[in-house]
Structure 1
Amino acid sequence: MTRDDSRTFTRRRLLGLLGSAGVASLAGCGGRDTTPTATPEKPGPFKQTSDSPDENPRMRDGIGFDRVVNAVDDLSWDPSGEEAIDDSLDQTLREGTLIEVPPGTYRVKRRHDVEGVSRWGIVGIGTNRRAVQFTPPTGRSFRWLMVDGGSDILIKNFTMQQGRKFDRSIGMGFLVDDGLKLYNVEKAGSNPRENSGSGAENGIVVQVTKPDGVAVVDTFVRKGPQDFAHYPGNAITVFTGRGHLGTVYYRNLHIENGGEHGIYASKGQGNVRVEGGLFKNNLGDGVRIAGEGSWVKGATVVIDMDDRTPGNRGNWHQARGIHLQSGEYGYTGGLVEDCTVIAHASPRTEALLKIEHSQGAATVRNCRFFNNTDYRTIVVDKPATGPQQPKKPWEVTFENIEISGRASNTVAMLLEDRPGSKISNVTIDLPSVGVDGIVLNNCEGTVIDNMNVVTGGYPLRVSSNSDGEQCLVTLKNLRRLKSSLLSDADTEQLASSLSGSTCLDGNDTAKQTFAVIGANDDRLYGTVLDEQ
């Protein structure tokens, strides 16, 4: 996938879109007409569907039910929240039954296990998801729905309400065979920590247990204050774990201020596909995936400690943007595409995009990074050598990448021990002091095609432990390499011509580092730093 010049984001254009804080007016992410804002009324384009009731009055969202019951009229649920609905739930959650819930607040007091049941659902029939609310009692935390098996399940248009006092927590878990449809659901209110009086619960857990099964989560929202604890003292917001074998789509989520990650979904054996959505100020990762068949497309991730959710407790101490990591599984493959990652201010950030040592090959394309911090923008770790060593291939591909901002004393792109990688159409505009552009350590055979880099430090640094004469990096179609602050008075000519393809080889500079200051007059200038 390529991008023509008409879609290129210049630094001026990106700054104009971003403003000084927040993403309220950001556009162009993922090719959608509208983009999630910092506080969207709806975080994505979720729309109610019409199911032609004249043809089948019991058809909802493509699922045919045997019976449709009204929670108040037919089941006598109390919409005032005084009387619990648990006994009725136990009796009604059976094959072929859809429960339609009128507006109101409904009290649930315990977990409900639904095992091996297909074609059932719970749907709020209010005009928006806040019209129907399910709430637990004070001092309790549990998954009010815990589903094991079954297919064709519809969960839609309601809110799980926790209140304002950090004294309760509620979530749901779905370990399904196939056909889960979870639409327009919110986990609202204040979120306690694990070691609180009530404990804490995940927002949603979704795993598809059949390899050809599919689950779709479209518009799940979690905001509200958080009592932050040190890792792992909070509940994961959206979780897909080791038992996942099929495919789950997470579309148009708005996960903000999460105590432990926005989406943690990197160690299942199936596919995790994140499409659209806003992930803001989550402790840990905004989004974490890994492996072939998984992707993050069109998402916006924001890290801004100066624009936090009011009412928080505890210490928000770390944030990352997008993270590829698979632990002991050592997956290779995966895609990050059409994403925007913004870091205005952070207490600590490993990277806006981090490809960890347990992750093999990956592709990142058509993405924009805006970095105002002293932390690195893109980091690709050296592959692990122990139990977490990823499967080959290990090379990474970056296409159509734009990095800008007021970052200082850091690195724009760092790749370590990833030979044969490909970097094309990269624009870096980080002119502040001490910022290096592209840094390649032991990445022999890497090709950089079409680069435009302005930094306050070295626009390009290349080092290798190899004693061979191979190309450490090949430069093609160089547009610009320039340091805004370093002088070229003591530099030497590293290459005599930049037309076509230029190889920087390690013939006489093994175990040393090329540091490029700039390029002009069809020549590359820089220096060879001390031996490593």
Structure 2
Amino acid sequence: MDAVDDLGMDPAGGEPIESALSAAYETGTLIVFPPGDYRVEKEGVIHGDKDRFGMAGLGDDPKNVTFHFPKAAEGGTGYWFLRNQGGSEVLFKNFSIELTDDHDTAVSIMNEGDDELWCVDLEWLGFIPRQASSPGQLLRMQAKTLYGVATARRITIGKYGSAQGGHSSSTGTSPGYTFIRNEPDHIGEFRLEDSHLEQCGHNTMRSSNNDGVVTVKNCFIKNADISGLRFNGGDHPEKTSLIENCHFLVDHRELNDTGGTAPHHAMGGVFADSRVGNAGLVVRNCDFEWKHILQETIDNDGSLWGIIRVPESNQSNPGGITIEDCRIFNDTICPNIWINGVSTNKDNQLPDRPWEVDIDNVHCTTYKNRSQQGDWIFYIGVRRSNSNITNSCIYALEGEMDGMLVEGCDDVLVEDCNIAVSGEKVIFENSTGSVNGITSNETCTLPGKEGE
């Protein structure tokens, strides 16, 4: 159905479209939108669980078809535009959402259900406000069946600025806005592909309190504050979570509009945490570049959690992780690879096994003479016995930086690594293992991907 010719919608934005759009919301319907600026005044225009429903713009670019809401009231909670909460074969494609530059308006989309859920070629325009002014996330997707898949492809968010401010646990105030999220009902696979996600003031993509898996490929994530990607391995009978061919960049000299706020954490990389003790996350062939962090961010409590971090807290107790074929360039004092030890959570439960860490062909270069959390490049904490660090490279000749610190682990293998550091190459503290084939005469491979 053509939104203009068949449904009488106004592509010039003079008349609101929600009545016509709601009336056309039926199973087996695809509504196509000619280029235009479509006005929406009420939230929840699409709200239900229809199968085989879709909305697609007909322009050559997502910006050719735009949906805009009225300016939100200051202190309001924004708008849910589309809320698909079930069914299969649901498509939202090739349009943009106008948030304006008023620093208050937030518009969100939900697409969750059984299988074949698609959000493709979507872009959010304008300034992204604080989380307190929003429904919680801009895009919420999840597969509610074990073998279901929800896919977000070519999503663009954050190019026009966003609020920062830090996590409320550190600041006592509202943080920025989560871009993409999976909720507790997610048990299948969520795929995030070929996307540009910039300057998120919260978690750029988070999957929490669920056993679903997440696959992220070919994404560019820039200047995220609380996390770039935040999830762990999931608990699926055939799949595990994967981050592959992604480029992470933190450079606060290239911030867009922040609305008078500032980054608080500068943790724009991988944070292996979902509040469920799953194991098995794989990070493969990714580039991490930490070029510049504001001094006021460095001085904050709770900042610089690590470029790749496996945390340990009463709510988060991840199992093992694999990091392979990755490159890190770090010209800041943010920790590089920080793998905390294994512990029980608030319910006195240990995480899923395996607990070990496998690091292979990971190259890390830093020119700083210290690190915020400890003067080491790689850290592996207690109970992660049988971990392996192989075919990797560390270059850190300033200050007194140690290459690797392993605490409270047995049977750890460090083999065929080039470790050019000013301090100790490998430290086993209350640990046992083997160190073989270590050299120290080479520089490391630097990140080589181009940002978008």
Structure 1 length as normaliser, TM-score? 0.74
Deviations along 1:17-67, whole A, 9 cap, x unmatched? Answer: xxxxxxxxxxxxxxxxxxxxxxxxxxxxxxxxxxxxxxxxxxxxxxxxxxx
Deviations along 1:179-205, whole A, 9 cap, x unmatched? Answer: 012111011101121445xx4652200
State the match for 1:210 in structure 2: 145
Is 1:473 aligned to residue 433 of structure 2?
Answer: yes
1:42-121 aligned at under 5 Å gives the runs: 69-109=1-41, 110-121=43-54
Mapped contact 1:225–1:313 kept (Cα < 8 A): no
1:382 is matched with which residue: 330, 334, 341?
A: 341
State the match for 1:499 in structure 2: none
Q: Distance in 1 between matches of 2:224 and 2:278?
A: 24
Kindly provide the amino acid, as one letter, of the partner of residue 242 in structure 1. P
1:254 is matched with which residue: 191, 196, 202?
A: 196
Is 1:169 aligned to residue 98 of structure 2?
Answer: no
Deviations along 1:428-483, whole A, 9 cap, x unmatched? Answer: 0111112211111112210011010111222222200x7xxxxx12012223389x
1:294-313 aligned at under 5 Å gives the runs: 294-310=241-257, 312-313=259-260
Q: Distance in 1 between matches of 2:209 and 2:286?
A: 22
Identical-pair percentage:
25
Is 1:128 aligned to residue 61 of structure 2?
Answer: yes
Deviations along 1:469-509, whole A, 9 cap, x unmatched? Answer: xxx12012223389xxxxxxxxxxxxxxxxxxxxxxxxxxx
State the match for 1:269 in structure 2: 211
1:408 is matched with which residue: 349, 355, 369?
A: 369
Q: Distance in 2 between matches of 1:267 and 1:297?
A: 23
Deviating above 4 A after TM superposition, structure 1's stretches of 4 or more consecutive aligned residues are none
Shift of 1:326: 2.5
Mapped contact 1:290–1:359 kept (Cα < 8 A): yes
Q: Distance in 2 between matches of 1:323 and 1:111?
A: 33
2:392 is matched with which residue: 426, 429, 454?
A: 426
Shift of 1:413: 0.2
State the match for 1:231 in structure 2: 167
State the match for 1:340 in structure 2: 287
SS of structure 2 residue aligned to 1:350: coil
Kindly provide the amino acid, as one letter, of the partner of residue 64 in structure 2. A
Kindly provide the amino acid, as one letter, of the partner of residue 408 in structure 1. N
Q: Distance in 1 between matches of 2:361 and 2:163?
A: 39
Q: Distance in 2 between matches of 1:200 and 1:326?
A: 20
Shift of 1:218: 0.8
Indicate how the Cα distance of structure 1 residues 266 and 458 shifts in structure 2: closer, same or farther if over 3 A, else same.
Answer: farther
When you count strand as a share of all residues, which structure comes out higher?
1
Paired residues, what number?
405
Deviations along 1:66-104, whole A, 9 cap, x unmatched? Answer: xxx111111111111121111111111110110000111
Alignment gaps of 5+ in structure 2: 169-173, 235-239, 298-302, 443-452
Is 1:360 aligned to residue 315 of structure 2?
Answer: no
Mapped contact 1:170–1:201 kept (Cα < 8 A): no
Shift of 1:311: 5.0
Is 1:148 aligned to residue 107 of structure 2?
Answer: no
Is 1:282 aligned to residue 224 of structure 2?
Answer: yes
Mapped contact 1:169–1:201 kept (Cα < 8 A): no
Q: Distance in 1 between matches of 2:440 and 2:421?
A: 11
SS of structure 1 residue aligned to 2:416: strand
SS of structure 2 residue aligned to 1:359: coil
Is 1:138 aligned to residue 71 of structure 2?
Answer: yes
Kindly provide the amino acid, as one letter, of the partner of residue 186 in structure 2. H
Q: Distance in 1 between matches of 2:212 and 2:354?
A: 19
SS of structure 1 residue aligned to 2:38: strand
Larger radius of gyration: 1
Shift of 1:266: 4.3
Deviations along 1:130-152, whole A, 9 cap, x unmatched? Answer: 00001111116111001111111
Mapped contact 1:192–1:200 kept (Cα < 8 A): no
State the match for 2:185 in structure 1: 243
Q: Distance in 1 between matches of 2:132 and 2:114?
A: 33
Kindly provide the amino acid, as one letter, of the partner of residue 431 in structure 1. L
Shift of 1:309: 1.1
State the match for 2:446 in structure 1: none
Shift of 1:379: 0.4
Kindly provide the amino acid, as one letter, of the partner of residue 215 in structure 1. A
Mapped contact 2:331–2:366 kept (Cα < 8 A): yes
Q: Distance in 2 between matches of 1:73 and 1:242?
A: 41
1:411-490 aligned at under 5 Å gives the runs: 411-417=376-382, 418-464=384-430, 472-480=432-440
Kindly provide the amino acid, as one letter, of the partner of residue 220 in structure 1. I
SS of structure 1 residue aligned to 2:326: strand
Is 1:314 aligned to residue 273 of structure 2?
Answer: no
Q: Distance in 2 between matches of 1:195 and 1:480?
A: 50
Q: Distance in 1 between matches of 2:191 and 2:420?
A: 38
Mapped contact 2:419–2:438 kept (Cα < 8 A): no
State the match for 1:393 in structure 2: 354
Mapped contact 1:123–1:155 kept (Cα < 8 A): yes
Shift of 1:282: 1.2
Mapped contact 2:80–2:135 kept (Cα < 8 A): no
State the match for 1:45 in structure 2: none
Indicate how the Cα distance of structure 1 residues 332 and 376 shifts in structure 2: closer, same or farther if over 3 A, else same.
Answer: same
Kindly provide the amino acid, as one letter, of the partner of residue 427 in structure 2. R
Q: Distance in 2 between matches of 1:230 and 1:375?
A: 16
Structure 2 length as normaliser, TM-score? 0.86
Q: Distance in 2 between matches of 1:445 and 1:195?
A: 48
Q: Distance in 1 between matches of 2:366 and 2:54?
A: 47
Deviations along 1:400-444, whole A, 9 cap, x unmatched? Answer: 000002122132100111111011001001111122111111122
Kindly provide the amino acid, as one letter, of the partner of residue 398 in structure 1. I
State the match for 1:489 in structure 2: none
Q: Distance in 1 between matches of 2:136 and 2:109?
A: 9
Shift of 1:281: 0.7
State the match for 1:509 in structure 2: none
Deviations along 1:278-310, whole A, 9 cap, x unmatched? Answer: 111112111112115111011111111122114
Structure 1 vs Structure 2 CA RMSD: 1.7
State the match for 1:351 in structure 2: 306
